[in-house]
Structure formats: structure tokens, C-alpha cells
Structure 1
Amino acid sequence: MNCCGLLTAQKEPVPLKSVEVELEVRAHVATVVSTLNYENKEDKPLEAVFVFPLPGDAAVCHFSAKIGQTEIVAEVKEKQKAREEYDDALSSGQQAFLLEESDQSPDIFSLSVGSLRPGESASIRLEYVTELAVQADEGLRFCLPAVLNPRYQPRGSEDVCIQVTSVPASLVPYSLSFSAQVSSPRPVSKVESNCPLDALQYLNTEQTQATVKLAAGHKFDRDVELLIYYKDAHQPTAVVEAGQASAKPGTLMGDPVVMLSLYPEFPQAVMSSVTSCGEFVFLLDRSGSMGGARIKSARDTLLLLLKSLPMGCYFNIYSFGSSYEHIFPKSVEYSQKTMEEALKKVEEMGADLGGTEILTPLKHIYSQPCIPSQPRQLFVFTDGEVDNTKEVINLVRKNSGSHRCFSFGIGEGASSALINGLAKEGGGHAQFITGTDRMQPKVMQSLRFALQPAVVDMSVKWDLPKGVSVTALSPPITALFQGQRSLVYGQLTGQSSEAAEGCVTVKYSLAGHPSQNQVHFSLTPAEDTGLPVHRLAARTLIRSLEMEERERKGEQEEGVKKKVVELSVQSGVSSAFTAFIAVNKGDGEVIQGNLVRRNVPTPRMMSCCMPMPQYCKSFSPVIHLMDNCYQSDVSESCLPKQPPRDPLLQLVSLQKASGCWVLDPALAAALGKTSEEVEKPKPASVNQEVWATILALIWLHGFKMDAQEEWELLAMKAVSWLRAQNAPCVTECVEAGNALFGCNVRKDALGL
């Protein structure tokens, strides 16, 4: 303990006793209710500050506090007014609660619990709604963050921040209970988690409703991640939700709202013709926290990516920490020479560049002119939390016309606001790699998306009965990928006497092929839903307006800000310019004595001994790290020694940029044979490279089918190379190769 230089819970009593979380999932919308139970065990009145992460696109829509038998429900007010009201309440001896979003990042909230009397308990209820993202394997991902990673503060930024004590997870002095209820129009096939769960309980014979709980004794020592799988999840749907009875018709909350969920299925002919052009820019986090297994996995992933790129494209690799580096001054054409040069540099990359300053390398990438007829595809890998999330996302948005951005959050606690925001604003796709997940299959799936032709000329057309109209609440869709969901929100106004059915048609062009998806839906709204669709629609509109506000100046900026505040107050959904405030006017008894301030610790993920970062201390609810004081999360010495390279990666590393392999002792060793064993069965009329390439393909299909997602693209490249050779005796080669390995791989399975 002492080597971490941390204060223990015993030395500084902590007022948070327990956390209860109830999750309700309807199709792909999640409503989360968290109850935080506090108790003041000190002999003085207490003010506690609890800083915690939420999903970046969550809409916080309810906040209340219960003191004894008195419940106080918070109201949404303009942020400065709310802060003043909170301070006034405390100075006049009243209890008050303030919940606000960080100015820098939309996924960090701070909760100030003011004036808890000695021995008094307070129960705080927080509710938010969020859309669940679709993962590579079609599971919907929900994540309850257990840790607030220290956020790296870029040099020169002058923001002030709050001190948060971090303690090893085994000493976290509060407990967690977590339960989930899932319902969907389609059967729930399974629910998986990185934490032990009790068995899934179905509530009906159709298996469209189910409940699941976290097994007892969970330590909250990691994020709780749930993956929910539905049968036939890929059907497009539209849900209409009735407005709030007490709200005025014509307002967002008073009218029905429709949520359209699209899953495009692209023609097979288009999907099989992978584009062979593009500028691929890889941006890799090399901050201290990427040490050990993370940086090794990132190096292996870059190897697979570089081997899978098509001939004729362009590429470059950037890496960043407190400073940044690039392998080439500008993107270069992909060839054997440039690939080898890049791989040599990748092998030397370590987690040795300090902090997480992503803005500067991004600016440098965007300052490079685009290469004609080579669409730019940016891949960003980071395990980090940065303090200037909004600024980073804004930069990607400004450059969204010139590229697509694919983002990867590595490890527990990667900022969902940053990872999802980069992909959403960059018209790409986000992936999270946590626990024992392998990075490679997820990254290769994103490369397949990047190699898909971009969807252009997109339009959404609504056909509604006479007298009913729709106002779009979402920004226009800019990216569609095979098998990926897109959501569109619309506000419905007016009444119709005709048949209550609507239809929406999405048209787009893909590689010159016009395509469309159509969804028919009932206009009869679902009643009594708790308004999650309205709140998500409000959140979507608020986020768009906040982006707009950052780009406006003067009176225009103030006008947009006013709109955000009005919408936030009307919908009860938090924004960058509002906060939840609750004051207990109660029995009028004034609290005596000076307030003691306590910061509630958040669990820390690493148990290794390391110096405690020096946090700075002040009002704003974001955690910062001063430059260079957190060079490394963990020393290399306490990481396990790395095993020798996986045979698959050994074989991949020997492939040439053109797609072929060379018959040499290194290939024989990677295939687990001697040079003589691989050379002897070669048919006399076949050249060595053709034989070596067929052997490599047979070995991949014969022994590594479980990792096919990882090598599929580079195998396609090998097959294209073989076809171009017009080699004789291919059937004979495949038979001889099968005999050598004791396999039974058919020629057509290889694509030959």
C-alpha cells in the first residue's frame, strides 16, 4: 500500500456506502437508474464530491435526492444559475445537490453533495438513457464504467480541476448491485459479460423478455460490460413514441417522436469487389499507459494491417504521446520497400512518449494535402482519456469532408465520448477492445469497412398520411456500412384521419449502383415508455446545436446557446450549458459549523506499485494530470515476459507486399517443417514463389480457421497474385501441400 503513496479509506472516511444500478434495455435503447447511498460518519457537516464517467452520448434525464423521508427532485437550470443557487443554499445552511457535465468532455459528470449532517444518510438517484452500439459480432454493448482514468492534460492548458483520491479496487469501500431487464420485438438469444452473471431468466415463452443479474460479491474492480444478442437483429425498424401529456403540442416533448433504425444490406457483387485505392493513415497512442501487452498487441495489429493493404494505395504511420512522430514525411505509395521500412520502425515502437496529446498530430495529418483519387482513411488507436475531447472531436468534424475516421478504444476506461465521437463525426466506425478481447479481428473488420466504397448521394424521404409532417432531429447520415446500424430521429406533427401508417425510404449510391432501403411503420404510438426515445432525440439535437455553437461567434453563438438551454430545460436532459440543481428547503433548520470537503475515491485498475500522480485541486469537475507527471501507468518490470511470436504472425510477417511468399528456411520454420520437407514435394514445373504461396494458404485454411477474420484480406491478396501468375499444376500443388501437412483443404476453398 505505502509504495503507492495513497491515503487509505481508514485514514479518511468515505461517505459513499453502496451503488445500485438497474438497467432496462428495449431493443437497442438502454435506460439506466443508478442509486448512490451516502452516509456521513464524521462529527462535522460534510460536502462530498463524486466524479464519475457516463457514456459520451448518454442523456441524463432525472436526478433526485432522498434525505431521511424527504425526497427532493432536481430541476435543470442554466449552469451558472444552478451553481449560484447551490452556493447560496450552502451559505444559508441548507442542503443542496448539484450535478453537472464537464466543460471539456461530455462523458464526465461531477456530483456535489452539500451539507450532510453528522450521522445522516442521503440516497441519490440518477437516471440516463443511451443508445447501445453494435459490435463486430452483432452484439449490443452496454458498459458501466467502474473507473475514471486520470485524464491527461495537454501542455499549456490552464483549466483547473478537482482532486480525486484513487484507491486499489480491493479497498473500494462501497458495494455494487446490478440487474438488467431486456425486451425486444425479436427473441433474446444470449447475454454475456466480462463479469460473472447469474443465469439468464426468460419472462415469456417467446423469449423476447429476460432478466439477468451480476453474481453476488462483485468487487467493481473493472468496467461491467454486457453484450446482448438478438435473433435476426438486422431487420430495419421504426418506433413511434407518444409525447408527454403535460407538454405543449408543437414542442419536442409534446409531439410524438419516431426513431428509425437502419441496417443496410449491400449487393454482394459490390461487396466482393474490394477497392484497391486509398490513403491509409494509422495514428497510434504510445503514452505510458500503453505499456506491456497493449503496445505489443498494437504492433501485431499494425503488422496485419500493413500486410493486408492493397497494392497501389498510399499509407503512413503516426504515433503520439506528449510529442508525435511519423514514419514518412508524407504518405507514400505501398510497395515492398516502403512496407519493410515501416515494419522495421513499428518493431521498435514502445510506450515511451509520455502523455496523451492527440490534437497536434491530428492537425498535422489534416494539414497534408489529400492525394487525388485516393480517399483518406484514418485509423486512431488509444487507451486514453484526454481532457480536450470536445476540441478533438470538433477538429475531426471540420475535416469530415476529406476522410473517414475509424477509432479503437483499448482497455478498461477508454473514453467512450472520444472513441464514439471520432467515428461519428468522421463518418467511420468505433470499436472497443477490453479484457481478453483480441484487437486484431476488430481492427481487420474496420479495415474491411474502410475498403468498402463510400456511400454517396444519400437521401431520406418520408411518406406520411395527409395532415402529418415530420421534422428531422438528427444530422444527415454521412456514413453507411454493411451490417452497421444508423439511427434517425424525427418529430411528428399534425393528425390524420386516414390509415395510420407511414413509410420511410433511404436512397443512396454505392460504387455507382443506386440502392434503397424501405421501412413501413405504424403511426400508433407506444404508450407509457418513460420517454427514452424523446430524450435520446433531444440529446441528439442538443449535441448538434452544441457543435454549431462552437463554430459561431458573437450574437449567433449566444442565440444557439439560448436554444440549447431552452431545449435542455424543456426535455429535462443535461447539456454543456445546464446543470441539475436540488435544494432541500426542508425543516428550515440551519446546519451549524464549517463544511468539511471530501472527495470520494474511484477505483484504480492497476495493482502494481507506482508513484501516485500529483493531481491539481480546484472547482471544475474534470481530472487533469500536469505534464510529465504520469509518464507511465505501470513499470515494465511488473509485466509478464512476452511469449515467442505466434506462428500465425510469424507466417504473416514473411508475406511480401504483392501477396506472395518466398520459399526459404524462415517460411519452412513458420510452417513447422524443415527446408527439405517443404522443397521436396514441389512439382517440377512450378516456380518456388507459387509453391510457397499455395503452402501458406493451405496452412492458414488447415490450421488457423478460428482466426480467419485476421488473415482473410491478406489471403485474398495472395489469391489475386496467384491468379495473375497463370501458374500451371495448381491442382497438383494443392494435393501435394495437403499431403505435406496432413490436411484436406479443397482448391475452391482456397479461392483458386
Structure 2
Amino acid sequence: MVNCCGLVSEKNVPVPLKSISVQLHVRDHVASVHSSLQYVNEEDRPLEAMFVFPLPADAAICHFSAKIGEQEIVAEVQDKESARDQYDDAVSSGQQAFLLEESDESSDVFRLSVGCLSPGQNASITIVYVIELSIQVDHALRFCLPAVLNPRYTPAASAASVPEVSSACVIPYTLSLSVDVRSSDRISRLESSCPLDPLEFLDAQHTHAMVNLSAGHRFDKDVELLLYYENTHRSTAVVEAGAAAAQSGSLMGDPALMISLYPEFPAEVMSSLASQREFVFLVDRSGSMSWKMHHGKGAQKRIESARDTLLLLLKSLPMGCYFNIYGFGSCFECFFPQSVVYSEVTMEEALRRVKSMSADMGGTEILQPLKHIYSQPCYPDHPRQLFVFTDGEVWNTKEVLDLVKSQTFSHRCFSFGIGEGASTALVTGMAREGSGHAQFITGTDRMQPKVMQSLRFALQPAVDDISVDWTVPEGVMVDMLSPPISALFQGQRALIYAQIKGQSSGETEGAVTVKYRLKDQPVTNQLQFTLKPKEDTGLTIHRLAARSVIRSLELQEQAGRASGVENIRSRIVELSVQAGVSSVHTAFISVNKDSKQTVKGPLLQRRVPTGLMFGGSAAYGAPMPINCIVFGAPMNMCGMAAPGALGSARRARPPAYSSAQFKRSKQPTVEPEPRMDPLLRLVSLQKAAGCWELNAALADVFGKTEDEVTNHRPAQVDGSVWATVLALIWLRAYKLDQRVEWQFVAMKAASWVRSQKPDGLSQCVCEGNMLLGSQVTEDALGI
């Protein structure tokens, strides 16, 4: 382990990165981020530094400049190979140069090369990127400034190409962050995982506000901001004027349009969620899942939170579905040879296995279990819903996403990033390519509400035959830039980018109509908008639109044939240079050609670490074996490749698995666990059909004795009906704030009660309220 952080010299001198200053400008649902990094060369010789750092996968870098002394040089976007050649030539000739490029392995990691800093010289690096803000389960808009680049599991075949990043326990640079929010809607509040100064409103309508990160933040974790508007789920349209200097007819020269749509599904369709599904849960069991969810008091381990979430999921599944659970690390296991029908027997068997799940499977090899899952035949009329839980970072992200994309017509993928530093490229990419939805669980977030929101999406019927039509004045055309919409969910945003061509003689109004079929029923949603451009948007919409087109072209390139790949690559480079945004084939390059003093002497090459979470690579030693058995095959060994410094060690690739093979680890000794949360205790007692039994364990959840509960039961009411009604009353009376978590448990319970057609329900509810000290109405219980 590296003890001294940063650019470590022969004399253990700290890194020359001294501070990071970030200005965040939010405009409705998008953000522009200005980051300035202050360097100083404290060596007595010229220095070339390497800084590997994370950015959100969907970010579009649109500016890069360097200020050395009083002289500022602004970088330009060039073809990556050309930029690398120019950088090498400049450095070898003693000129100051800077190179910013996206990692070849993952779109959320960038590498900054700082070339030829003279002894004692200061340099200020400015990076600007734009990004869409994601929407959370509580309707908040989320922005995350990544500080943590977790150790990424690297298959042995690609280990040599991975940039090395040292772990650090103390980050030797400071962070300042200021946030400016302007919205067409009223701002309710702004929250953060880190301490903030008080929010300051700058107008009477509360549509403009500012806030700063409190001083002293150590930047040892991601900075997460949650922004709440009064009407977050309102469809909107923003038209942005083109760049004056750009050619008319080009993407940057014409006005750009961003549509934020929130489809409203008919109530009669949403009243009955589909039960005929196959649910496959793929859970990361690598060593880092033993880390805490956050640094606060009472934090659960990630694997513990995953176990609680699986309990809730298993109890929430509808009767008539199929399910299976996989755990993965350096190898993988599945609970059943193939997905099984959901019943009391299979649910209890799965719960028994869930209780013994540990973070004991080494590295993060997600590709092999995915291949095994996709090799399993789907059940007719039971569309597959894949839930993926991981805290991991992998360096074969693009290979994983290609696999998910290849199976897009056979399943939907819902992904969850757990803990600080989970790969946005992996998590959002899997959901995007799998027509699903991505969630991130960071800080003190509870995993359960976010997962249950995704379960609600998974139970929604799939939307088919999605089409987008435009109604605009004569003389105007709309060229849609976004890829075709592949998934729509009730209450979830869908973004559309478009280019407006031509001019209208007088009319300024347009409309977009989204049509689709839902359970064979045609549905139409329409949004009116004005063609008049919005002022002072700084080309943010254009750059995000360009990024959307570039990403689509990159996916086409990966899937394309050799004959067409070169043309696609040329289009990517052309658009990237035109829009001034990053891509996999371009880089930002700046060379100070006007420097009067040529740098002489040998260059020192150093690497700057990003902040890793405490207990990074130091928590693990050499790879250790765990025993795995193959059903119907001799015992085998698979290596546990623990997280560590990137590229610091080769890890053995586990053997390839055929569709008929999977691994199951021996049952570990289960340590005594702390007393379960009352809600989870109640849920754990529910039967697969939805009812509860009248017993002492249930009474204990209510804080009563079994005799107290039994004596209040109306004579004509069955014990299970009485127990189930009590459970529903208790949930409504005392856990209403966690309704998102127990909504499907309650739906199953109410449906079961109705199926029993019991007498005396009104008296049952009345007696239940008296016993539990509540006032819940019969109508509220849905029985």
C-alpha cells in the first residue's frame, strides 16, 4: 500500500494537486459543472503528472483549459490519436502540454496528463461538463460529484491495460463547492450527503437559490445533492438558440429542443399490476460488500442491506411468477438450477439461503453469471425481469453492456449501485441497454424503497409500439436526435432531444405526441411547447443532444460490421469536434507554444490518486481460495480476487461456465444478528399467499402477548384473517412513512383477505384498532 498520497517523489513529497473548486449551475433538470484544479510542482525537476478521476458516465465534457501563471491556454477537441501524438511531441520538445481523454475501458473514468511543469510552477486546470439530473424515488433531482474511484476488479486478460491508481487515507487537497439553481418551477429545498451552508433564495418566487458546501469537507466520499421542486413530475420543453458562430443547418447552428416527458398510464390499466413475470436477482458478493453502507453510526454492511432487501422482495413477489437468485464474485452460484414457481416452499427455501449470504466470493466477475442467466430459456408469457445489485467497478464495462444489449428483446434490466463510487457507467448502462431503470444507494439511503420502486416498474406492463410525432408550423422541421424510446414507466421521465430546422413565417407554437400500446390498449400523451428559444442557456441543451447522438453512434460502432465501422468513427469524431464535447475517439489537447522558456532536464512521471474509501486495498491481502462445488461434478477451486489498487496485481480469471454449470458455495457459519427492524420482522412472518398466522412472533411485533391478541379476536373470524387484518392496520397506523417498502406486501394481504370472503370484517377492524390503539378505516385497508 502507498502510505504517502499523491505525486510521490523519491523523497516522499506530497502530490502537487492542492485544491479543487467546483461551481454547479442547475437549470431545471440539467446542470453545468465547472471544476478548477490547482497544481504546483514542488519538485526540483520538471514534472509530468497523471491524474485518473471519475465523472458521471452520462456527462458531456465541453471545456478544458489550463492557466500557467498569467497565461491561459484553451484546449481543443481533436482525434484521440492525433491529440496523443501532439502531446508526446510537445512534452519531448520541452513544451508545456495538457491532455484530457476518456478511458478506453469505461466511460466514467478520465485521465488527465499534465506535461512539463517547471520546478515551483503553478497550474490551474479548468474542466466543464454538462449532465442531466436523474430523478429519485421521492421525486428529488439527484446530482453526484464523484470523489471516490473504487478499486475495480480486473480480469487477468485485461489487467495490463488498466491505469494504476493508488489508495489514500488522507486526501491532500481541499474541495469548495457552490451551487446556483434557477428553475421555471418553485424550489422546495436542497439536501446533501455532506454539510451545506443555509440555502439562500434570491427572489420572492423561490425559483432562484444559492448554497455552498460547508468548509472542511475532506472529499473522502461522493458529494450528493438532492434538489426538490414543487412539481418535479411535470412535462416540460426547452428550446435553446444555436451558436451564432456555427453554420446554419448544423446541430450547433440550429435551435435545439429538449423534451422531458412523464407519461400518464390509464388508471384502469394500472389498477392491476401483472403477476406473470420471471424475476432473477443477481447479487454482488465480492469482498467490498462487507464494507459499511456509510461512515455514520449504526451503518449496516452492504451485504446485510442486500439480505434485508431480498427478504422484502421475496415477500412482495406475486403468486404465479417464477424466480431465482444468483450470487457472484470470482465465481457465481444460483439458488435453483433454473427459475422456479413462486410458492410457500420455494420462498422459504430461498429465504433460508438468503440468511447465509456473505461477502465471501472475492472479485467482481459479472460477465459469466450474466451469460449463464441469458443462456436459460425464458418461460412463455412470463417476461424476464433482471435485478442487478453491485457496489463494484469492472474494467470490462463495455463488454458487459454489449451482452445486456444483445438480450434486450428477452428481458428488462433494473440495476442498483450500492455505496460510494459505484460505477455509473455500469449501473446506468445496464439499465439503459436492458430497457429498465437504474438506482443508486449512497450515504444514509435505504436500499429498500428504491428497490421497491423498481419492482413497481417491473410489474408494470411493457409498453409496445412507441412512436413520437411532431406538429410544427409550416416551414419548420424537427429532426429527432435521441435514439428511439425503448421503455416507458408510469411516473418516470423520458428525455427527447431534437434539432429544429427552418423558420416559421409567424406561428411559434408546436406539439409533440407520444403514442404507444399498453396491454393492447392505445395511449396518447401530448405536450405543447413554444418555438421561441429560452435565453441564457449556455448551449447546455445542444451539448447534451450532441452527447446523446455520439453515444448512439458509439453503440452502433461496437455492434457494426468492419465495413461500416470506419464511417461511424469518422462521424463521431466530426460531431465531437463540432460540438466540443468528449467521446471515446477524441481528446482535449492544449499546448503552450508561446512559452519563452524551454523546460530542460529529465521528466519525473507521477500519478495522482483519487480518494478511495477508508479500508481500500489495505483491507485485503493476497488472493485467498474459497471452496465451490459444481452440481454433478468433482469439487473445484475458484480464486477470491479481492479489491485492491488498480492494476497492482493479476487476478486469476475463473473458469468458463457452460449453460449447464453453476457454482454453489458451502454454507458459512451464521453469526448472531442484531434484532431485526419491526417492519422487516412483520414482513418476514408473512406467507407467500399474503396472509399471516396468529402466533406469539406476530404479537411481539405489535408489542403484545399472544393471549392479548387472541382474546380480542371476534368469534366469527378465522385466526389467519384476524392476524392479517391486524398486520394491515399496524402498517397503516405506524409505518405509513415507509409505504413504498410494504405496498406490495399489503396488496397481497388485502387480496388474500378478499378471497376468503369472511364475515364480520367491520367488527374485525374495530377490534383491531382498539387492540393496537389506532384509528384506521376499513376502506383504507382495501379489504
TM-score range, shorter chain: over 0.9
Q: Pick one of 302, 308, 312 that aligns with 1:304.
A: 312
Matched ranges for 1:212-611 at <5 A: 212-291=211-290, 293-607=301-615, 610-611=618-619
- Give the C-alpha shift of residue 349 in structure 1: 0.5
Assess if the C-alpha contact under 8 Å between 2:141 and 2:226 holds in 1: yes
Give CA deviations for 1:552-579 in whole Å, capped at 9, x if unaligned: 1222111111111111111111100111
- Alignment match, 1:671: 702
Whichever residue aligns with residue 546 of structure 1, its letter is: E
- Alignment match, 1:194: 193
1:44 equivalenced with 2:45 (yes/no) = yes
- Alignment match, 1:151: 152
- Alignment match, 2:298: none
1:730 equivalenced with 2:731 (yes/no) = no
- Alignment match, 2:210: 211
Q: Pick one of 675, 680, 700 that aligns with 2:731.
A: 700
Whichever residue aligns with residue 508 of structure 1, its letter is: Y
When structure 1 is superposed on structure 2, of 301-310 and 196-205 the one drifting more is: 196-205
Assess if the C-alpha contact under 8 Å between 2:5 and 2:171 holds in 1: no
- Alignment match, 2:634: none
What is the alpha-carbon distance in structure 1 between the residues aligned to residue 711 and residue 187 of structure 2? 54
Assess if the C-alpha contact under 8 Å between 2:155 and 2:653 holds in 1: no
| CA pair 471-624 structure 1, distance change in 2 beyond 3 A | farther
Give CA deviations for 1:431-469 in whole Å, capped at 9, x if unaligned: 111111111111111111111111112110001111111
When structure 1 is superposed on structure 2, of 20-29 and 734-743 the one drifting more is: 734-743
Q: TM-score, normalised by structure 2?
A: 0.91
- Alignment match, 1:6: 3
What is the alpha-carbon distance in structure 2 between the residues aligned to residue 161 and residue 416 of structure 1? 18
Q: Does the residue aligned with 1:157 lie in a helix, a strand or coil?
A: helix
Give CA deviations for 1:377-432 in whole Å, capped at 9, x if unaligned: 11111111111111111211121111111111111111111111111121111111
1:656 equivalenced with 2:687 (yes/no) = yes
Whichever residue aligns with residue 729 of structure 2, its letter is: I
What is the alpha-carbon distance in structure 2 between the residues aligned to residue 610 and residue 410 of structure 1? 21
Assess if the C-alpha contact under 8 Å between 2:2 and 2:166 holds in 1: no
- Alignment match, 2:635: none
| CA pair 8-539 structure 1, distance change in 2 beyond 3 A | closer
Whichever residue aligns with residue 694 of structure 1, its letter is: V
- Give the C-alpha shift of residue 601 in structure 1: 2.2
What is the alpha-carbon distance in structure 1 between the residues aligned to residue 278 and residue 160 of structure 2? 37
Q: TM-score, normalised by structure 1?
A: 0.95
Identity %: 61
Q: Does the residue aligned with 2:168 lie in a helix, a strand or coil?
A: strand
Instruction: Please list every run of 5 or more consecutive structure 1 residues that lacks an aligned counterpart in the other structure.
Output: 616-621, 632-639
When structure 1 is superposed on structure 2, of 12-21 and 692-701 the one drifting more is: 692-701
- Give the C-alpha shift of residue 56 in structure 1: 0.3
- Give the C-alpha shift of residue 516 in structure 1: 1.5
- Give the C-alpha shift of residue 323 in structure 1: 0.8
What is the alpha-carbon distance in structure 2 between the residues aligned to residue 525 and residue 669 of structure 1? 62
Give CA deviations for 1:534-558 in whole Å, capped at 9, x if unaligned: 1000100000000000111222111
What is the alpha-carbon distance in structure 1 between the residues aligned to residue 712 and residue 442 of structure 2? 44
1:112 equivalenced with 2:117 (yes/no) = no
When structure 1 is superposed on structure 2, of 316-325 and 506-515 the one drifting more is: 506-515
1:745 equivalenced with 2:776 (yes/no) = yes
- Give the C-alpha shift of residue 5 in structure 1: 5.5
Matched ranges for 1:68-217 at <5 A: 68-168=69-169, 171-217=170-216
What is the alpha-carbon distance in structure 2 between the residues aligned to residue 526 and residue 741 of structure 1? 56
- Alignment match, 1:635: none
Matched residue count: 733
Give CA deviations for 1:716-746 in whole Å, capped at 9, x if unaligned: 1011011111111112222222222222222
Instruction: Please list every run of 5 or more consecutive structure 2 residues that lacks an aligned counterpart in the other structure.
Output: 292-300, 624-644, 655-670
- Give the C-alpha shift of residue 614 in structure 1: 9.0
Whichever residue aligns with residue 94 of structure 1, its letter is: Q
Assess if the C-alpha contact under 8 Å between 1:153 and 1:626 holds in 2: no
Q: Does the residue aligned with 1:296 lie in a helix, a strand or coil?
A: helix
- Give the C-alpha shift of residue 513 in structure 1: 2.8
Moved over 4 A (4+): 611-615, 627-631
When structure 1 is superposed on structure 2, of 364-373 and 661-670 the one drifting more is: 661-670
- Give the C-alpha shift of residue 8 in structure 1: 5.0
What is the alpha-carbon distance in structure 2 between the residues aligned to residue 249 and residue 733 of structure 1? 73
Whichever residue aligns with residue 62 of structure 2, its letter is: C
Q: Does the residue aligned with 1:206 lie in a helix, a strand or coil?
A: coil
| CA pair 569-405 structure 1, distance change in 2 beyond 3 A | same
Assess if the C-alpha contact under 8 Å between 1:97 and 1:582 holds in 2: yes
- Alignment match, 2:36: 35
What is the alpha-carbon distance in structure 2 between the residues aligned to residue 8 and residue 69 of structure 1? 29
Query: RMSD between aligned alpha carbons?
Result: 2.0
Assess if the C-alpha contact under 8 Å between 1:196 and 1:214 holds in 2: yes
What is the alpha-carbon distance in structure 2 between the residues aligned to residue 457 and residue 98 of structure 1? 45
- Give the C-alpha shift of residue 684 in structure 1: 2.3
